[in-house]
Amino acid sequence: MAHSEVRKGKISSKGMRNALKLFSYIKPYWVEYAFGLFFLLGSSLANLAFPKLLGDLVNSGTEGEIAEAMTRIGVMLIALLLIQSVFSYFRTVLFFNVTEKSLADLRQSTYNHLIKLPMSFFEKHRVGELNSRISADIALLQETMTSTLSQFVRQIIIISGGITLLVITSLKLTLFMLAVIPAIVLLAVVFGRYIRRLSKKVQGEIAKSNTIVEETLQGIQSVKSYTNEFFEMLRYRKKTLEIAGIGMKTGRYRGAFTAFIILGMFGAMVAVIWKGAILLAEGEINSGQLFSFVIYTGFIAGTIGGLAGVYARLQRFIGATEDIFGIFNEDNEKLKELDSTMVKKNRLRGNIEFRDLSFAYPSRPGERVLSNISFSIVPEQTVALVGVSGSGKTTITSLIMRLYDNYTGEILFDGKSSRDFDLEILRSQISIVPQDIFLFGGTVGENISYGRPGASEEEIYKAAVQANAMEFIENFPSGMDTIVGERGTQISGGQRQRIAIARAILKDPRILILDEATSSLDSESEMLVQEALEKLMAGRTSIIIAHRFSTVREVDNILVMDRGRLVEKGTHDELMKITNGKYRTLSKLQYID
């Protein structure tokens, strides 16, 4: 499914079951919805009564009735219009109220379930696709619930009620109308569907031409460096000429369609009136009945033509509900809201042990990333994970945070299996400072407080001081209220790192994971960040993912990874003594003694 489009579904039994699930969100507001249906029924019946009264008004004049009868029917028509207007107003307001409240509940449920899904789910789904489900799909549900469903019910009432009234008026003329009008409407629907396909094709080609423009402007340096301006101009010219060709073909079909509608629909109406005039001359109907019959015929023809569009929207509605409720079929992580007493009762000492652990990512089940890993870390110890890219260092930290549960072997915290901990208890005591810091688009203060939502201003300030962050925060014109921009792009790398450290300090974790937080910084920033990290690591179990071996010489223990296996462990001095050892070889490559 494209990010910007909603998949068109088929109306099947499975699709209907998904659609019916939506009504569980309407159930709390069933009284308002029932009143909405009542007003919908009333406005539709009023719509059906209108042509009948117009016919009676015509008859009242032709049959020489007194002016009082004409006035009475005229007053009834005005009253009917007022009733229809009032009923339509309340129907629209009630359906909108129920829809907005129901979809607000659905949005919350979808987001709440989505955000608690495991990492394995997000590996298989693109962010654009998931965002589309909450935005485009639910927007389509909104359109359907507020207008399409009511239109569908109204059209069914008008068609069935209208045909019933036509049969009562004149069975002969009704049979003649049903032989002529539906065939013309069916041809118009088929014709219109083909034109819509052409229009959709034009939109698709325009999207491709826009892609050419976007790519060439984004890569303008490459275009110019290879002197490919004329190549790109030719490519764009071909695409725009294709669009023009399809557009002109669409124009020809639209012209033919317009001519067909004029000829077919008006011709059909003329045929009905011609047949009605014959029956009028034979005395089988009167002029008022013929007048009502013609209006009812127009109503029914227009309604049958509109059913195709409503049906297409209902198909998309079914597809959207299937996509949305497909999310709810995924098992989430069953997280519970934390409180301070829960954390105090389950406070970790910081001991970590891996026992014969093996792991493969759910997206690549046949490819082992870790094989038979065993090691232990004592509380408040600092341990470094080293090895070339792809050796499994980051995977180990992901498993410590229990982002994946499909491993074999055991991970123990203070001698207790990680699977025996509630996820929220475990993760609340682990913090990570990655190399690539993600900041939210709010203020500096909001980003620091993300470590512990609800922290006081004083606590946020103290965390910033400990992280050596106040040095630059105080220089911002708005201080803590400074907007960092999307992903923190308005501040430097060193500043982002210190905000992340302040966030971790505020969280006060027992286990700290550092993904070489200083590797991409300049010397001055690195010194400030390193000083902040040393404060943060004090009194905690710390795990450092090391890319530069010069940063791990003083740690308590080094775990050397190679192709998913733990091949060596020990201090820097111990590992450097191993002849032809992996650590010693990598160290020599970085010129470390």
Tell whether pTM > 0.75: no
Where would I find the H helices in 369-422? 393-400
The lowest-confidence range among 59-68, 115-124, 207-216, 240-249 is 59-68
Report yes or no: 528 and 470 within 8 Å, Cβ to Cβ: no
Bridge-based pairing of strands 368-377 and 352-360 is antiparallel
Residue among 450, 507, 432, 495 at smallest CA distance from 468 = 495
pLDDT band at 246 (very low <50, low <70, confident <90, very high): confident
Give the mean pLDDT of 565-584: 90
Residue 572 has pLDDT above 60, yes or no: yes
User: Quick one: pLDDT at residue 373?
Assistant: 95
pLDDT band at 552 (very low <50, low <70, confident <90, very high): confident
More confident residue, 262 or 124: 124
State the average pLDDT for the chain: 79
Q: Which residues contact 540 (CB under 8 A, 6 or more apart)?
A: 350, 380, 509, 510, 511, 512
Give me the amino acid identity at 165: L
Spatial separation of the C-alpha atoms in residues 395 and 404, rounded to whole Å: 9
pLDDT band at 119 (very low <50, low <70, confident <90, very high): confident
SS3 state of residue 558: strand
User: Quick one: pLDDT at residue 525?
Assistant: 67
Angle, CA of 550, 553 and 557, to the nearest 5°: 130
Give the mean pLDDT of 109-134: 78
| High-pLDDT (> 90) share of the chain, % | 14
Residue among 108, 152, 110, 482 at smallest CA distance from 307 = 152
Spatial separation of the C-alpha atoms in residues 85 and 103, rounded to whole Å: 27
HEC sequence for 252-281? HHHHHHHHHHHHHHHHHHHHHHHHHHHHHH
SS3 state of residue 455: coil
Q: What does the block give as tokens for 492?
A: 């430097």
The number of CA neighbours under 13 Å toward the Cβ of 572 is: 16
Q: Could you tell me the sign of the dihedral formed by the alpha carbons of 264, 267, 273, 279, in that order?
A: negative
Spatial separation of the C-alpha atoms in residues 522 and 19, rounded to whole Å: 56
The lowest-confidence range among 158-162, 227-231, 250-254, 470-474 is 250-254
The lowest-confidence range among 156-165, 206-215, 372-381, 401-410 is 206-215
User: Quick one: pLDDT at residue 124?
Assistant: 77
The number of CA neighbours under 13 Å toward the Cβ of 201 is: 16
The lowest-confidence range among 184-188, 401-405, 414-418 is 184-188
User: Quick one: pLDDT at residue 280?
Assistant: 77
Residue 580 has pLDDT above 70, yes or no: yes
Largest CA distance in the chain: 121
Q: What does the block give as tokens for 348?
A: 């970790």
Residue 249 has pLDDT above 70, yes or no: yes
SS3 state of residue 454: coil
What Å distances lie between residue 507 and 123, 149, 150, CA to CA?
A: 27, 49, 51
Q: Which residues contact 274 (CB under 8 A, 6 or more apart)?
A: none
More confident residue, 563 or 270: 563
SS3 state of residue 164: helix
Give me the amino acid identity at 12: S
Q: What is the dihedral of CA 318, 320, 326, 328, to 10 degrees?
A: -110
Report yes or no: 455 and 503 within 8 Å, Cβ to Cβ: no
User: Quick one: pLDDT at residue 441?
Assistant: 75
Spatial separation of the C-alpha atoms in residues 65 and 54, rounded to whole Å: 15
Residue-wise pLDDT for 66-80, tens only, equals: 566 667 777 787 888
Spatial separation of the C-alpha atoms in residues 374 and 397, rounded to whole Å: 14
SS3 state of residue 510: coil
User: Quick one: pLDDT at residue 1?
Assistant: 40
More confident residue, 487 or 428: 428
pLDDT band at 14 (very low <50, low <70, confident <90, very high): low
Start-to-end C-alpha separation, the chain: 55
Bridge-based pairing of strands 382-386 and 368-377 is unpaired
Residue 416 has pLDDT above 80, yes or no: yes
Where would I find the H helices in 116-170? 119-124, 127-132, 138-143, 149-169
User: Quick one: pLDDT at residue 569?
Assistant: 93
Directed axis angle between helix 30-62 and helix 149-169, to 10°? 30
Give the mean pLDDT of 320-343: 75
User: Quick one: pLDDT at residue 59?
Assistant: 67
Spatial separation of the C-alpha atoms in residues 364 and 368, rounded to whole Å: 8
Q: Please provide residue 451's backbone torsions phi and psi, each rounded to the nearest 5 degrees.
A: -65, -30
Directed axis angle between helix 13-26 and helix 287-328, to 10°? 90
User: Quick one: pLDDT at residue 492?
Assistant: 80
Q: What is the dihedral of CA 560, 563, 566, 568, to 10 degrees?
A: -40
The lowest-confidence range among 12-21, 228-237, 377-386, 530-539 is 12-21
User: Quick one: pLDDT at residue 409?
Assistant: 94
Report yes or no: 335 and 423 within 8 Å, Cβ to Cβ: yes
* 47-51, 299-303, 585-589 — most confident range: 585-589
Residue 560 has pLDDT above 90, yes or no: yes
Residue-wise pLDDT for 358-399, tens only, equals: 999 888 888 899 999 999 999 999 999 998 888 899 899 999
Residue among 165, 161, 160, 159 at smallest CA distance from 185 = 159
Give the mean pLDDT of 427-452: 86
Report yes or no: 75 and 3 within 8 Å, Cβ to Cβ: no
Give the mean pLDDT of 523-548: 81
More confident residue, 336 or 576: 576
Report yes or no: 231 and 224 within 8 Å, Cβ to Cβ: no
What Å distances lie between residue 64 and 67, 76, 85, 289, CA to CA?
A: 9, 19, 32, 16
